[in-house]
Structures are given as structure tokens and as C-alpha cells.
């Protein structure tokens, strides 16, 4: 049994009330039909509730649900990409890529950008501090030399770019990694505690004289030495956790035309205390561009910057 909710008239199961209020409600419901908001004007006593047609609302809810799912998937993809980036942004290719990027800055590069390109960030920062404190005038001269050399190269080859072409790579065994670790512990970082003690003692005894000789303030000297010692202390415990033997060559191009390339050499790239470094090359090899090519006189200066890192990738020379 049902009744009109406006006038209270008893109605049959399929009967619609013809009172004015019901008619108005029906017209309003029809006008809003496209929005799915049509509302019945009858009360069902058996269920004691107002009947509502919610099909439009359900469709909208489904639409919003789909949108939320898409947004959620998008967020998940972004998070995954960030995780992958953090996992793979650093690899055995990192120091080589950094060298290539630094060289390809061309005239926008400076000496320290090139000098530090293949080194770990903490050593690059220390090298910059050492140069800017102890040898700023010479650093300016080196910057001028770098700019002049790149300008000369760009004048001849306006679209010049360099890249490294990999010939092969071989993962180093645990035994080989331990051999490199032993070489460092018995070489550059042997008796590192004694080395630090000697530096601190020298600074205490002759700090003023050393500062005068270098024409810097004693406070600047102490700051650099303090940072140098802080860096050395990170090698009290040496960890080499991964490494590769990589063979390849640098290729210099002007647009699509190859203008010069180096010989292929073999490098040993290791993850040293968390940073990838080019530790050495096989048999002390050095990269050399082809001197028989006409472009050689324009690009020979790149030898120095490509070959900086092979013997002292971890230990800087303070003075």
C-alpha cells in the first residue's frame, strides 16, 4: 500500500497522484532527469522509506572511482620511477658520464669542473677548497687556458661533442676487489692514523710559517687542513663493494662527423666507500687522440682532463 507524500491520497501500485504538488514534483524531476536526480513522489508504507532512483549517482561514483584509480596508478608510477632512479642513477658509468658531461660544457666549463669531473663529490669539494685557498691566481690562469682551448676547438668545429664508446665490460670478482682494497690499504692509506697525526703536529708546530709561505691566513690554512683530515678519516676503513673492468674509447664528433678518437684502453672502475671512481688503468695506459688527424692540434688538450683520475682517484695531494 502506498500514499501520495504531498496530499496523503491512497494510490494503487502503479498509480501516480494527480494533485498539483505531485505534478510539480514530476515536472521538476523530469527537468533534472539528465543529472540522474529524479525523485519519486510516493512513500512505500511496506518499506517505510522514500524510493529514490540513484542510477545517475552510481554512474558518477563509478566515474570518480575510475579517476581515483587512475590518479593512484599515476602516483604509484612516479614513486616507482623515483625508486628506480635512486637505484640506477649511480653506476660504474657514473665517472665516465661525468667526464663526458663536463667536457661537453665547452666554454662554459672551468678547470675545476674538468679536474673534478670523474671524482667523488667529497673529494671534488676538497680539491676546490684546496685550489681556491692555496692557488687562486694559478686557478684563474688555468680557467683562461681552458676557455681559450675550447674556443679554439669551437671555432674550428662548431658542433663538437665527445662521447665514450664502450667496447666491453667485465664484472670484477670478489678476489679482484679485495686485491684493489689491499693495494689501497698498503699504499695511499697505509698507516693513515700516523699520517693524520703527523699533519696535525706539523700544523701545530709550523702553521704560522706555512701560512706565511703560502701567503694565506693561518685560519684559512687550519680550515683546509681540518677538512683534509676529515676526508682522510673516511678511509680508516676501506670498502670496495663492486667493480668492473671496462674497455672503450672516447670519440669526438662535429655534428654527425667523426673528427678524432682515442685508442681503446682498459680501466678499472670500482665502488670505493660508496662512490664509483676510475681507480686505475691497465698497465698505466693513457687515452691519446689520433695525432695523425688534422683535428689533433685542436683537441690534444683534452688528454689532460680525461687522464687525470687514474692513479689518484681517492687521495688528493694537499700541497
Model confidence pLDDT, tens digit, residues 152-188: 999 999 999 999 999 999 999 999 999 999 988 887 7
Question: What integer pLDDT is reported at residue 52 of this predicted model?
Answer: 42
Q: Is the confidence at residue 41, as pLDDT, over 50?
A: no
18: cell is 494527480
Question: Across residues 114-120, what is the average pLDDT?
Answer: 86
Burial 158-190 (b: 16+ CB within 10 A, else e): eebebebeeeeeeebeeebbeebbeebeeebbe
Q: What is the dihedral of CA 57, 61, 63, 66, to 10 degrees?
A: -170
pLDDT recorded at residue 287:
92
Residue 313's Cβ-count burial label (10 Å; 0-12, 13-18, 19+) is buried
Burial of 112-129, coded b for 16+ CB within 10 Å and e otherwise, reads bbbbbbbbbeebbebbee
* pTM of the model as a whole: 0.67
pLDDT, one tens digit per residue, over 95-114 is: 999 999 999 999 898 998 88
More confident of the two residues 117 and 83? 117
pLDDT digits (tens, 9 = 90+) for 213-257: 888 899 999 999 999 888 888 888 889 999 999 999 999 999 999
What digits encode the pLDDT tens for the residues 190-207?
A: 788 888 888 889 888 888
pLDDT at 50: 40
pLDDT band at 303, cuts 50/70/90?
Answer: confident
Average predicted confidence (pLDDT) for the chain: 79
Mean pLDDT of 295-301: 92
At residue 83 the predicted structure's pLDDT band, cuts being 50, 70 and 90, is very low
Tell which wins on pLDDT, 20 or 205: 205
Residue 22's pLDDT band (cuts 50, 70, 90):
confident
Give the pLDDT score at 72: 55
Going by pLDDT thresholds of 50, 70 and 90, the confidence category of residue 47 is: very low
Which triple of cell numbers denotes residue 273?
A: 666507500
Residue-level pLDDT at 37: 42
Amino acid at each position: 500500500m502506498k500514499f501520495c507524500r504531498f496530499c496523503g491520497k491512497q494510490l494503487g501500485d502503479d498509480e501516480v497522484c494527480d494533485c498539483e504538488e505531485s505534478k510539480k514534483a514530476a515536472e521538476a524531476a523530469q527537468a533534472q532527469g539528465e543529472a540522474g536526480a529524479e525523485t519519486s513522489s510516493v512513500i512505500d508504507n511496506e518499506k517505510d522509506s522514500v524510493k529514490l532512483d540513484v542510477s545517475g549517482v552510481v554512474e558518477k561514483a563509478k566515474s570518480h572511482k575510475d579517476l581515483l584509480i587512475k590518479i593512484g596508478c599515476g602516483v604509484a608510477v612516479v614513486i616507482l620511477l623515483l625508486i628506480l632512479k635512486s637505484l640506477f642513477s649511480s653506476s660504474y658509468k657514473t665517472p665516465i658520464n661525468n667526464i663526458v658531461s663536463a667536457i661537453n660544457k665547452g666554454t662554459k666549463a672551468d678547470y675545476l669542473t674538468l679536474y673534478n669531473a670523474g671524482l667523488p663529490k667529497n673529494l671534488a669539494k676538497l680539491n676546490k677548497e684546496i685550489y681556491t685557498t692555496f692557488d687562486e691566481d694559478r686557478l684563474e690562469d688555468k680557467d683562461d687556458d681552458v676557455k681559450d682551448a675550447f674556443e679554439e676547438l669551437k671555432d674550428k668545429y662548431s658542433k663538437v661533442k665527445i662521447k665514450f664508446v664502450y667496447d666491453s665490460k667485465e664484472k670484477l670478482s670478489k678476489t679482484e676487489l679485495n686485491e684493489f682494497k689491499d693495494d689501497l690499504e698498503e699504499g695511499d692509506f697505509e698507516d693513515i692514523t700516523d699520517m693524520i697525526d703527523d699533519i696535525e703536529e706539523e700544523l701545530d708546530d709550523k702553521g704560522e710559517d706555512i701560512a706565511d709561505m703560502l701567503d694565506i691566513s693561518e685560519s684559512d690554512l687550519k680550515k683546509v687542513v681540518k677538512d683534509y683530515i676529515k676526508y682522510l678519516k673516511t678511509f680508516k676503513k676501506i670498502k670496495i663493494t663492486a667493480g668492473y673492468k671496462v674497455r672503450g674509447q672516447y670519440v669526438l664528433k662535429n655534428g654527425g662527423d667523426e673528427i678524432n678518437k682515442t685508442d681503446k684502453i682498459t680501466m678499472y672502475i670500482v665502488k670505493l666507500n660508496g662512490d664509483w671512481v676510475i681507480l686505475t688503468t691497465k698497465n698505466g695506459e693513457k687515452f691519446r687522440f689520433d695525432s695523425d688527424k688534422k683535428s689533433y692540434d685542436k683537441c690534444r688538450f683534452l688528454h689532460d682532463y680525461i687522464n687525470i683520475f687514474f692513479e689518484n682517484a681517492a687521495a688528493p695531494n694537499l700541497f
